[in-house]
Structure 1
Amino acid sequence: MKLNILKVLRWVLIGLLFVAVIGLINQVGLQRIRDQVDQFGIWAPAVVFGLRFTSVIVPILPGTAYAVLAGGLFGFAQGLLIVALADLASCTFNFYIARRYGRGLVERFVGQQFMDKVDRLGRRHLERNVFLMMGLLMTGLFDFVAYAVGLTQTRWQTYLLALLVSILVAKPLWVAAGAGIFEGSQLFLGFAILGAFGIGIITAVVQRQPNE
C-alpha cells in the first residue's frame, strides 16, 4: 500500500512539473525563456544534467520530467546529449555503488521501501540474459535495474554495452516529446508517440519473462 502511494506521488510530481513548465512557457514565451537560459551559458545544461543525474541516483525523484524539459529548453540534439550523458554517468554510478559496497549502501539511496523492487529485479538472473537486461534498462525501471545488476555477477563490460544500447534506443523518446510539445513539431511528436508505443511493447514483453 505504501509503495502504491509513493508511486502515485511520483507521477503526481511529474504531472505538476509538466503543468508548471507549460504554464510558464505560455505566459512568458519559449523564445524568451531560451534567451534567458542562454545567458547562463554552460550552467544551464549543467543544472539540467545535475537534476537528471540526481533523479536516477535517488529513484523516488521524477527524472522523466527533466528529460522532457531538456528537449524543450535546448532542442532535440543538445537535450538528448545532456540526458544521455546524465543517464550514462548515473547508471554507471549506480552499478559501481552496488558492486563495490553492496546492498547496505544501495538501500540508503533507494530507501528501504524500494529495496524489494531491486531484489525482485536481481532475482530475474539478469547476468544470464543480456537481452532481458537491455530491455529492462529501456523501461522506467532502469534506475533500479542499474542497482540490481550491480548486485549480480554481471561483468561491467556486458552491463556497459546493454546500458549504451538502451540509452540510444529509449532516451530520444522523452527528449523528442519535449522538443515536439514546446516547439510544436509534428515530426518530433510523431517520433515520441511511436517510441512510446515501442517502449510499451518492450516493457510488456520483459515484464512477462518469468523469474527463473
Structure 2
Amino acid sequence: MLRSTRNLKNKIILYSSWIIIIVLVILAFIYHNELKLIYSDPEAVKQFISGFGIYAPIVFILIQTFQVVLLIIPSSVFTISGGYIFGVTLGTIYSLIGIMIGSIFVFYISRKLGRSFVERIINKKELEHFDVFFKKRGNIALFAARIIPVLFPTNAVSFSAGLTPMKFKDYIMFSFLGFIPSLFVLAFFGKELSHGINLGMIIILSVLGFGILAYLFRHEIKVFFIKEIKEYEKILEGDIKKYV
C-alpha cells in the first residue's frame, strides 16, 4: 500500500513537471521577441518589465525562474537586466528569489528523472566535472560553483546536484549563500549601465569581457586550477590512448 502510494505520488510529480515545462516552452515561443530584447536593448527590456506596473517584480522573478528551467538565456544576462531595471539591492533580491525557485525545481526534476534524462539536456563534461568536484569537496563544491558561475553554469550545476546524494536542505543553504555575491556583482554591473559610458563602465565592460572569455574556456580553466578535475582528465586521456 505504501509503495503504491509512493509510486502514484512520483507519477503525479513527473506528469506535473512535464506540464510545467511544456507551458514554459509555449510561453517562450509566444514571447520570443521579448526574450531577444534582453541581448539587444536594455532600455526596451526595462520598458517591457516596467509596463507591468506593481507586478513588474513578480514578472521579473518568473522570468528568472523560467530561464533556469529552460536553459534559453544565461541567468547572468537577466541578473544584469535586473540591476538596470530595479537597482542593485532589489535587482539582487528579485534575481535571488527567481533563481532559487528555478534551481530548486531543476534539482527536484533531476533527482526524480535521473541521469539518463539529464544527460540529454546538459553537456556531459559539465556533469562529469561537477561529479568529480563534489565527490572530493562535498557541499563546498556547490558553494564554490555558485560563486563562480562563469566556470560552473547555474543550470548545469542545478541539474548535476540533483544526481548527487546531497541533502535537499544543504542544497538550498549552499546555493543561497553562493548565489548572493555573484548576483550582487552582476546587478551592480546592470545598475552602472544607466550611467552611460564612463570610467566605471569601461572597467565593468572589461570585467564582463574577461568573464565571457572565462566562460568560453571554462573547461580548460577548471582543469588548470582544480586538482580533482585535472586528475580526472588525465585518467580519461590515458584511457582514451589505450584504445587509439
Q: Would you say same fold, with TM above 0.5? A: yes
Provide closer, same or farther for how the CA distance between residues 165 and 131 of structure 1 changes in structure 2, counting only shifts above 3 A: same
Q: CA deviation at 1:170?
A: 1.0
Match of 2:42 in 1: 21
Provide closer, same or farther for how the CA distance between residues 47 and 97 of structure 1 changes in structure 2, counting only shifts above 3 A: same
Match of 2:146 in 1: 137
- What is the SS of the residue equivalent to 1:151? coil
Moved more, 164-173 or 183-192: 183-192
Letter in 1 for 2:42: V
Question: What RMSD over aligned residues (CA atoms) do the two structures have, in Å?
Answer: 3.6
Match of 1:119 in 2: 127
Provide closer, same or farther for how the CA distance between residues 206 and 160 of structure 1 changes in structure 2, counting only shifts above 3 A: farther
Provide closer, same or farther for how the CA distance between residues 46 and 65 of structure 1 changes in structure 2, counting only shifts above 3 A: same
Structure 2 CA distance for aligned equivalents of residues 193 and 186 of structure 1: 11
Structure 2 CA distance for aligned equivalents of residues 100 and 84 of structure 1: 24
Q: CA deviation at 1:123?
A: 3.0
Structure 1 CA distance for aligned equivalents of residues 70 and 109 of structure 2: 12
Provide closer, same or farther for how the CA distance between residues 206 and 135 of structure 1 changes in structure 2, counting only shifts above 3 A: farther
- What is the SS of the residue equivalent to 1:153? coil
Match of 1:11 in 2: none
Q: CA deviation at 1:84?
A: 0.6
Provide closer, same or farther for how the CA distance between residues 15 and 42 of structure 1 changes in structure 2, counting only shifts above 3 A: closer
Provide closer, same or farther for how the CA distance between residues 58 and 185 of structure 1 changes in structure 2, counting only shifts above 3 A: same
Structure 1 CA distance for aligned equivalents of residues 101 and 199 of structure 2: 29
Structure 1 CA distance for aligned equivalents of residues 55 and 203 of structure 2: 29
- Asked whether the 8 Å contact 1:119–1:148 carries over to 2, the reply is yes
Correspondence 1:47-126 to 2 at 5 A: 47-107=59-119, 111=121, 114-126=122-134
Q: CA deviation at 1:208?
A: 2.7
Structure 2 CA distance for aligned equivalents of residues 15 and 64 of structure 1: 15
Match of 1:167 in 2: 179
Structure 2 CA distance for aligned equivalents of residues 163 and 187 of structure 1: 33
Structure 1 CA distance for aligned equivalents of residues 159 and 71 of structure 2: 10
Q: CA deviation at 1:121?
A: 3.1
Provide closer, same or farther for how the CA distance between residues 134 and 185 of structure 1 changes in structure 2, counting only shifts above 3 A: farther
Match of 1:155 in 2: 167
Structure 2 CA distance for aligned equivalents of residues 94 and 86 of structure 1: 12
Are 1:208 and 2:225 an aligned pair? yes
Structure 2 CA distance for aligned equivalents of residues 93 and 19 of structure 1: 29
Q: CA deviation at 1:159?
A: 2.1
Letter in 2 for 1:66: F
Number of residue pairs matched by the alignment: 184
Match for residue 43 of structure 1 among 55, 72, 94: 55
Structure 2: tracts of 5 or more residues without a match: 1-34, 233-244
Structure 2 CA distance for aligned equivalents of residues 88 and 58 of structure 1: 14
- What is the SS of the residue equivalent to 2:71? coil
- Using CA pairs under 8 Å that are at least 6 residues apart, name the structure with larger relative contact order, 1 or 2: 1
Letter in 2 for 1:20: D
Structure 1: tracts of 5 or more residues without a match: 1-13
